[in-house]
A = this chain, B = another copy of it.
Amino acid sequence: MLLNAARLSDIITAMNESPAHTITFQPGDIVCEGVPHGANLLRVALLEGVHINASCGGTGGCGKCRVLIDSGEYEGGSGAKLPYEDFDSGVRLACRVKVLGDLVVTVPEESRMGDAVALTHERRPGPGRVLTASDLEHLVKGWSVDPVVKKYALSLEAPDAANNINDLDRLKLGLKAEHGIEDVSVDFEVIRELPSAMRGQDWNVTATVVERSRGPKVIQVVPGDRISDDYSIVLDIGTTSVYVQLLDLGSGETMAQASDYNGQISYGDDVITRIVHARKGEGRKQLQEAVVSTINGVVGKVLEKTGVDSCQVSHMVAAGNTTMTHLLTGVDSANIRIEPYVPAATFLPPVRAGKLGIDVCDHVHLYTFPCVSSYVGGDIVSGIVGSGVFQTDKVTLYVDIGTNGEAVVGNREWLVATSCSAGPAFEGGGIKHGMRATRGAIEAVQVEPVTGEPHILTIGGRKPLGVCGSGIIDAVAELLEAGILEQNGKFNREAGSDWLRQNEDGQWEYVLVREEYTASERGDIVITEPDIDNLMRAKGAIFAGITTLLNSVGLELDAVEQVYIAGGFGKYLQIDRAAAIGLFPEMEPEMFTFVGNGSLLGARLVSFSKDMLAAAERVALTMTNIELSDNQFFMDEYMAALFFPHTDMKWFPRMAGILGKLK
């Protein structure tokens, strides 16, 4: 999931500065456009499907990724494994090269995957549309910065004997006369300190007013004209991670962002174990304190970075799944996991953030995104708003692959949603060497078709520690295409690759990295058959969830006109690989859009715009939840999906061709 914060960072950085470059790989004239400034050359090649040998994950450790840079601006490229004379003759290690301009790069034969194959064995489809800053702005239409919480400057008359009405009424009359705001209620805490606030700068004050369904409410009054001190904090409360952004409500700018693991992890990895813990003694309190402590940490960071005081913050918006929303607000979550899966509430009133223990000024209220059901939460509602699905005419499939997998199908007129109970395989859970997508995780894998040798890339170019979701998908897809893995998820015992073996327990496994190249001394990093089985069940649940959703509205997969992918994968999920294992059907890459952290996108919008807040509530009310737990159609679909890519190859013609050739 942290990958995702990195992506948002990319996007926002891109917004301000970085130009994109073009890299041409030789031989073959393979052109990669839109390469970010400062990108790692090996990473670009691997993500674009240009095979360059790399056994160590891009750490400079194996010295296999030798290239010649024919022209263009770059930095680095030397390393211990590159002899001085080779460097002198123009050879560089691709994993050490930072792209600073348009490049022409030759990949010599020794760096390619065996002599027999071309530079790329087959040009793979592009990775789908990755959002840029301007995309972000155009995803959702018809909104402007007009937050539900606003600041108003007032110049009041000082009282005298002829006009000595109380301070509160003077404030109310001022709001009416100067800003046309009527029938306002005023928070008790504001009234308490009103006399000194109003007299602090000679009856000039700034009032913060929130528009609520029952009318406007003044939540803060400070002396002087402080209308430019107007910030909001938006949060994505994930089961695994918490993301925060500090927004300037005046300019619409993002001031800073931060993220951290959700401190609740120490009480369990998934929502079910946390709900169970919440029922024990002080459990509910502990879980609330844990996530609040995480929030305080990341909020503290963005405030410190920017020098913004928490009293300048006007409000907070948090999007999370239904369980996270309950646990954050201290609401009893017990029945979320008990049939018939009833949450305490799907719409929670705004709550004073300080009351939850969040370290912000007392007036700040936390708005939590409305949820739909126990397993279709505010994060999904937020994603549907943030990605503009609620406005589109096209039949859209929205899939969020996090600790759970949620899918939504619909458009501006209707929306059906479900949670697929996919399990955490895509986040590295239930995988022997699985890990979250953090530094040192193998995030991309290529398998040499002839020898079965793996070439890998790790996040951050660190020595490999384990494998994350996209790495596992890549590996399984490549192993399938290389004939090393069978469609039933079992290794081909006759594949005869040096990287395929039986371990001490007789279990078959595929070696991704030899121990010498890993960051630990805990043996080789491998993928086992049970790992693959877990992945199959995860992808099967999502695929079956999607087809069940479509079926609930009388549609099939071909009715889908566009696909939005949210969640931890971001742009590192290769659409063709996902289709190769059967996570999605084969579709045109142009149909896919990666929205990254959809939940945070929606939270931003809602914080900026009261119209979008109203839209979020409409979305939550109109979205229909399809329960899968007792659904026979889903069960049938799920059983049929327990095969790579699927027992029914109707939606996988390309893969049918590749696999057909292997037989």
| A interface with B by C-beta (< 8 Å) | 159-161, 164-169, 185-186, 188, 191-196, 199, 214-215, 329-332, 334-335, 339-349, 351, 373-374, 627, 630
Chain B: which residue is nearest A171 at the CB level?
A: B345
Cβ of A571 to closest chain B Cβ, rounded Å:
36
Task: Determine if A168 and B345 form an interchain contact, defined as CB atoms under 8 angstroms apart.
Answer: yes
Whether A166 and B340, one on each chain, are in contact in the complex, defined by CB atoms closer than 8 angstroms, is no
Contact A340 B194 (CB under 8 A): no
Q: Are B214 and A167 in contact (CB under 8 A)?
A: no
Task: Say yes or no: A159-B342 contact (C-beta < 8 A), given A192-B330, A192-B332, A214-B214.
Answer: yes
Q: List 13 A-B contacts (CB under 8 A).
A: A164-B340, A164-B341, A164-B373, A167-B344, A167-B345, A168-B344, A168-B347, A169-B346, A191-B344, A191-B345, A192-B344, A194-B331, A214-B215
List, in ascending order, chain B residues with CB within 8 A of A627's CB. 161, 164
Q: What are the residues of chain B within 8 A of A191 when measuring CB–CB?
A: 331, 344-345, 348-349
CA distance A340 to B159 in the complex (A): 7
6 further A-B pairs in the complex, CB-CB below 8 A; given A159-B342, A195-B335: A168-B347, A185-B349, A188-B349, A191-B348, A192-B344, A194-B332
4 A-B pairs with the lowest CB-CB distances in the bound complex, closest first: A168-B345, A164-B340, A214-B214, A195-B332
Decide if A161 touches B192 in the complex (CB within 8 Å).
no
Complex Cα distance A188/B330, Å?
10
Which B residues are in CB contact (< 8 Å) with A330? 192
Which chain B positions have C-beta within 8 A of A331? Answer: 191-192, 194
Cα–Cα, bound, A27→B405 (Å): 102
A332 to B193, CA, bound (A): 6
A212 to chain B, nearest CB (A): 9
B344 touches A188 (CB 8 A): no
The closest CB in chain B to the CB of A212 belongs to: B214
CA distance A334 to B199 in the complex (A): 11
CB distance from A167 to the nearest CB of B (A): 5
Contact of A340 among B161, B169, B185, B339 (CB under 8 A): B161
How far is B166's CA from A332's CA once the two chains are assembled, in angstroms?
12
Most buried by B among A165, A192, A330, A374: A192
Closest B residue to A355 by beta carbon equals: B188
Q: Contact: A346 with B166, CB < 8 Å?
A: yes
Using known A-B contacts A186-B349, A346-B166, determine if residue A334 contacts B214 with beta carbons closer than 8 Å.
no
CB distance from A438 to the nearest CB of B (A): 34
| Inter-chain contacts of A341 with B (CB < 8 A) | 164
Chain B residues lying within 8 Å of A344, measured Cβ to Cβ, are 166-168, 191-192, 194-195
